[in-house]
Chain A
Amino acid sequence: MSDKIKIAVVGSGPGGISAAAHAAELGVPHVLLEATPKHSDTIQKYQKGKHVMAEPNVLPLRSPVPFEQGTREAILDAWEHSLSQHQVNVRYQARVQAITGSKGDFTLTLANGEQVAAEHVILGIGVQGNPRKLGVDGDEAPFIQYQLDDPDEFKGETIVVVGAGDAAIENVLALARNNQVHIVNRRDEFARAKEGNLAAISSAISGGEVQCFYSTNVVRVDEGDFDGKPGRIVLATPSGEAEVAVDRIICRLGAIPQRDLVESFGIEFPNADPNALPVLSTRYESNVEGMYVIGALGGYPLIKQAMNQGYEVVEYILGNSIKPADHPLLEAKFEVLPYALEVDEVLELLQERIPIFSQVNPLVFRELMLDSNVVVPEPGEVIFTKNDYTNTFFTILDGSVEIEVSEDLVIESGQGNFFGEMSLLSGRRRSATVRAGPFCVLIETPRRTMNKLVNSVDAVKRVLDETFILRTIQQRFAPGVPLEELRPIAKAAKMNQFRPGEVIFEEGDKADALHLIRSGSVTVAKTFDNREIPMAYVAAGNYVGEMGLLGNSDRSATVRATVKTESISLDSATFLDLLQKSPELLERMRDDVKLRTQQNVRLQADASAGDMLSFLMQQGLGEATDVLLIDKELCVGCDNCEVACAETHHGTSRLNRSAGAVFAHIHVPTSCRHCEDPHCMKDCPPDAIKRSPGGEVFIQDNCIGCGNCEQNCPYGVIQMSYRPPKKPGIWSWLLFGAGPGPGQAYDKGEVPRGPDEQKKAVKCDMCKDLAGGPACVRACPTGAALRLSPEAFVDLVSSR
């Protein structure tokens, strides 16, 4: 065991480097432990030449290590230089596998068995996770690697790739061009792979370019000389043991989530949600005293935040109480408030006054306030309008607001209350118009920040869910009944979650409950000749299953979730209670039922309508709010739609007209559907993806080009692209042949591009900035291209 050190920093990402460098410049005994042979593994893995952005721009940098936007290479060089300039004591290939002990006496155990003793530990290990190892004898052999940067680096080798996911397949396909490649798949098919990869690997295997071992496990890896190769892999195949002499083994078995490792250090997470963050104090200290968490692991997804925290945490360990770098930002934010209080006091006051935030830990709350806005509206000012698609969350700090759900339901809400949770949770349009009352002060929190909070603080989630149920029941079923009276009914209601395709209830079942769809959507289907034929599509905000309850009979149809769906269910007893409280409900529901039955009859007439509806749902349109559909009977393939898209959006078309599935002349081209709960928004570090009041999901200019959204969108509609320069006007093209003409792109290589240019995510924004609406639709000469909302699907399928 070596001498005890004051601060051990684990992980040399931007957070870790900044912490270690600050400790070094203060002369504090420290060590920086990095698992890989180079610092900043996450950034090393960015694509070559990537332009790294220094978001958020307003946040000042506070670190001895420099950082400003520039290429990946320039930044890595600067950090390298800074590490040696500050004489940081850094140890590479020192993966920390275990941490034991307590404040003042921690022991860190490295992968090679060595131990390091330290008084304090700073964890800055990011969220990339560590690659899963083979877990067999010999899995430390030097020819085994867990990553492939440049497949063209290897030629004429025998390579075994272990794994069956997209990463494995992509590596295999790239390597197979110049090498003899085998792939080892534990199962008998490639079930986890994307469609395109699946097709490509199947064809490579059947074409004999790649040899696949199905249902095979790795037994061990031997080092030595095997037919002139440095090693050998031994496999257990269904037909017995097999051996392959190899130059290289590449393991793509996925990553072990950092959470498992971090929990093994004793750090607690608030719940099992994979998005949950460890609980930290305002000084980044975890529940393990003396162990601090910074950077992405603590929920701060950007480089500058990580670096600032690295600096601050060292100060805190040394017992200095400095103000965080974001202090001035909060100060500016609170300026509009009528209180003469310090930032920290304001934060405390806010938590006191707003019950839903009272349980939140102060660090998380501070972060929340950094993302939020303080709004002081004029009395009578509209905060948001019914049917808008905005999805921020509001809390009332002072004064009151008037919530107008409908003409007969206007609610006044006062200090400490919140509103806007309905759209936040369901992803659907606003269900009310909200106006400011006198002396109103509001806090507006973005959707992403709220979701983060909901995922990590159970108490907040519970309150939001309960309120959501209560308010929904009031809105949908009993507008005349005060909330207090509805509370017992809401208590009896249940929340249900359904996977895509899961049955909510089946035809012939006893009708026992009504489901109000909170998010997602469902299809209602009937069975004819042993075939289930969908007859209706029901979007979030509506209910299903009322027919059975009213008639107290069996289910007359099967209801299935089209996408991930949540419902609130009321059993028949509770429902009868509700009917008693709100007798006019019966009348309204009867009307609804009548309407629904009429619609069913219309669709029943032909099964092809049902098939069409099934097709649309298979294309994932169950979660769409607005989708481009092309009628193949009208489309002449002129691509004017694509050209129009490119011409109105900096030269890159956001739709691919010829791609996508076709059924009975309806074609779903590859283009954004503006999902009700957009997958692309989930994991955007600078929160650059927004939804406008009209429902358009669009990407702002502060995109850092990380590509997360491109991966997260299940419909492949986001591209990473450069922005070509402005083209010469149409007349100079027409008369003088200058530049590419309308609808033509610059040739590759011809495009002038500055050093600061970088790829950013681009996608359809439904031409929200064009007065006439979507250019694709307006440019179609034959009327083949239309944008439809799901409400129009029933008309679409029955009009054919």
Chain B
Amino acid sequence: MYQSFITYRGGRWFWVALLLCAVSIGLYVWHDLPQPPGGGTWLGYTLGTIGALLILWLTYLGRRKRNYASNLGSVQGWTSAHVYLGTSLIIIATLHAGFQFGWNVHTLAYVLMLLVILSGFFGVWAYLRYPEILTDNTGGKTRDDLFREVAEIDKQLLRQAAPLGAEMETAVASSVERTQIGGGVIAQLRARDDSRVVLPGQGLVANSEQKPILDLVVEQLSQTSHREQAAILREMSNLIGARARLLQRIRRDVQIQGLLRVWLYFHVPLAFACVAALLVHVISVFVYW
């Protein structure tokens, strides 16, 4: 019932793209010209025009995506076509160039285009692979749900730590307060635990994966001979464990959501750069004609 943009309508755009490539290759192999192959031949012009139009159309997806009331196909269809036709550009543009490369604006446009396509491949891979990981990681809960669960545990921990003396209280309170999630782009994508905690006699130290605070509680547990206190400490160690797992999931969630977006920060600017280079390429070709 559900179809991904890859299999959209039986992979209709895959076949279109394939046909386009096949025809281009066929023409390239078949055509026999006085000049060596390249942008200057009639075939070169044809392929170049097709390629340029394709690039403009591919860039237009950004606009179509925001045309929310548009009735011109569905965004899924556009995405599917975007992926396949975008890929076919590798062949079309290469044939257009006739394998002539150099240190010039023409090759720059070509390289930029390849980079855009490459970043696009990462996007496709991310879109196909990450959604499932995302759901499995959170068990279908939202990130807000997880944060609420953490807050709930925080409250319980603080309450339990209160009768255990000032040092324990500070330690637990600081572990809650100085829990770190996300941060800058790099921190989000790394998903490492940069939390900290104030431990007795050690001051502010790293609290990676909440292990130091857990160690402290376990340590206390092994030393106490008071039954009630032991019960509290045991409960606390369970809660800290659960909390650490929750935090891990949240970080993973932040990370994957980040990965699902971050490639666009390369793909889109590169695409604009590519269009600009394409423009220079076209103009210069006509000027030097």
Contacts and interface: CB of A to CB of B under 8 A. Distances in A.
B135 A634 contact: no
A658 B2 contact: no
Interface stretch (B73-81, B191-199, B204-212, B240-248): B73-81
Interface in B68-93: 68-71, 74-76, 78-79
Given A636-B127, A636-B260, A770-B69, A659 B142 contact: yes
B33 interface: no
Interface stretch (B3-11, B14-22, B167-175, B176-184): B3-11
B131 A780 contact: no
Contacts of A788: 1
Contacts of A207: 155-156, 159
B152 interface: yes
Contacts of B159: 207-208
Contacts of B260: 636-638
B142 A203 contact: no
Interface string A141-181: 00000000000000000000000000000000000000000
Contacts of A778: 70, 74-75
A637 B257 contact: yes
A411 interface: no
A658 B257 CA distance: 13
B158 to A, nearest CB: 9
Contact of A634 (B2, B139, B141): B2
Given A635-B131, A662-B140, A777-B74, A782 B4 contact: yes
A328 interface: no
A799 interface: yes
Nearest to A644: B68
B130 interface: yes
Contact of A783 (B3, B130, B144): B3
A570 B152 CA distance: 54
How many chain B residues sit at the interface, stated as a range, is: 35 or more
Given A632-B131, A636-B260, A667-B140, A648 B69 contact: yes
A665 B132 contact: yes
Interface in A725-777: 730, 742-743, 770-772, 775, 777
A797 B59 CA distance: 38
Contacts of B4: 634, 782-783
Contacts of A203: 152, 155
A637 B134 contact: yes
B182 to A, nearest CB: 16
Contacts of B8: 783
B71 A647 contact: no
B226 interface: no
B1 A780 contact: no
B65 interface: yes
A649 to B, nearest CB: 10
B31 interface: no
A509 interface: no
Nearest to A637: B257
A742 B65 CA distance: 10
A743 B135 contact: no
A784 B135 CA distance: 13
Contacts of B127: 636, 782
A650 to B, nearest CB: 12
B155 A647 contact: no
Give the residue among A207, A640, A742, A783 with the most B Cβ atoms within 10 A.
Answer: A783
A781 interface: yes
Interface in B82-110: none
A209 to B, nearest CB: 9
Nearest to A773: B71
A786 interface: yes
B227 interface: no
Contact of A632 (B140, B152, B156, B257): B140
A632 B66 contact: no
Nearest to A204: B155
A658 B71 CA distance: 26
Nearest to B72: A772
B140 A661 contact: yes
Given A658-B142, A659-B142, A742-B66, A781 B1 contact: no
A636 B130 CA distance: 7
Contacts of B132: 632-633, 665
Instruction: Report which residue of A208, A665, A782, A784 has the largest number of chain B beta carbons within 10 angstroms of its beta carbon.
Output: A782
A783 B65 contact: no
Given A208-B159, A636-B126, A772-B71, 16 more contacts: A203-B155, A632-B134, A632-B135, A633-B131, A634-B131, A637-B134, A730-B66, A775-B68, A775-B69, A781-B76, A781-B78, A782-B4, A782-B5, A782-B79, A788-B1, A792-B1
Which 8 pairs of residues, A with B, have the shortest CB-CB distance?
A662-B140, A772-B71, A647-B68, A644-B68, A632-B135, A742-B66, A631-B2, A783-B76
10 contacts: A632-B135, A633-B131, A636-B127, A636-B130, A742-B66, A775-B69, A779-B74, A781-B65, A781-B75, A799-B1
